[in-house]
Each structure stands twice: as C-alpha cells, then as structure tokens.
Amino acid sequence: MRVHVADHPLITHKLTVLRDRETPSPVFRSLVEELMTLLAYEGTRGVRVAEVEIETPVAVTTGVRIAEPKPLIVPILRAGLGMLEGMVKLLPSAEVGFLGMARDEETLQPTTYAERLPDDLSNRQCFVLDPMLATGGSLIAAIDFLLARGATDVTAICILAAPEGLKAVEEALHGRDVTVVLGAVDERLNEQGFIVPGLGDAGDRLYGTV
C-alpha cells in the first residue's frame, strides 16, 4: 500500500477554512470541490493511458488518452458526494458508481446499505472518495468490496486522516494494490471516533443534519 500526503500551500489554506466551525455550508461545499480537484490531480498520477496518433494543424504526432476500461469513481455516501464534482471535472471520461455506508456510533463499525456498481470490475482502476479516514472501517470495507469484484488497483482519496485509521487500513490491506492520497494527517481520534483537530462531521457540514 502506498500513502501520499499532498503537501501544497493551497491545500493547507483550503483545509484551514474547512476546519473553521464558522464556515457556512455553501462555502464548505465549494471548498471541498476545489480541494478535491487538487487532491484528484495527485491521485490520478497513475491513471492508465494508451498511446493515440493525432494530427495537429502542423504535423502528425503521438499523444495519450485515458485507457479502456474507463476508470470508476466511487464516492462513499453521503459525504463522498461532496467530493464527486471536483473529481469528475478532472476525469470527465470516468464512470461513477456509489457505495452507501453508515457507521454505528457505538461500535464504530460500518454497514453497507446501498450499492450501485458493476458486478464485474475486472481490470478496472477505481477511485474511492471519502472525506474522513477516521477509524478506517468504512474505507477498508469499501476497498474490500471493490477488490472482491475484480478491481485491479484502487486509489482512495481523503481530505483528512487520523493516524489510527491510516494504520488500520495499512494493516488490513497489506499486500494489496492500493494507494491512499490525503490532504493531511491529523493528531489522533477522540473517544467518539472523530478526528482531532479535524473539521467535525463532514456530511453534516456539507448537507446539514437531516
């Protein structure tokens, strides 16, 4: 497993505004989309391409295009939806699937309540979107789900991670072809399983508490 923490002043700046409890939901949503585009740039460095010959106004040359089968973007509902538009802007030819996962606030274990994915993911590159890598349970379950359907490599893109969650993911997915791209690694988890200092519940701050 490969871990890449994006170190860029624009990412740190946007994260600072996201962390501020006074940042309203509309601004929060806009910033998540902007931040996601920056993280997606890092996360797609290994996207597969195929050579293609084209003719410019001056000469024939060789370039590349996104290879088949198309990459699959998989936001984890509901908070991952806030990251989707920023990813699609950078990778518009990708297909989109969905995984609905919820965390039991007592056991902190994830349950899958919905999925919309191809039955066969053989030879597919998958990009999983989840803002917070806290305990790691949801991300581990999502990646296991994709690999079980034949995905050949998976990249997870998260805004923030806790060291405990990152360690859990590394241990659970040891030896698997997985990359994790992060905006930052924070200090720790608290007793309720929230990242500290973090930014609170990403889903609630994106969409409210309904």
HEC secondary structure over 47-58: CCEEEEEEECCC
Q: Is 107 one of the catalytic residues?
A: yes
| Per-residue buried b or exposed e for 72-86, using 16+ beta carbons within 10 Å of the residue's own CB | bbbbbbbbbbbbbeb
| Exposure of 155 in the CB half-sphere (CA atoms within 13 A) | 22
Catalytically annotated residue among 103, 149, 152, 153: 103
23 to 7, 31, 32: CA distances (angstroms): 23, 10, 12
pLDDT at 203: 84
Q: Which residues pair with 182 in a beta bridge?
A: 5, 158
Q: Is 201 one of the catalytic residues?
A: yes
Catalytically annotated residue among 12, 16, 107, 111: 107
Q: Which residues of the chain have pLDDT under 70?
A: 103-109, 209-210
Picking from 182, 207, 132, the residue whose alpha carbon sits closest to that of residue 12 is: 182
pLDDT at 106: 67
pLDDT at 104: 67
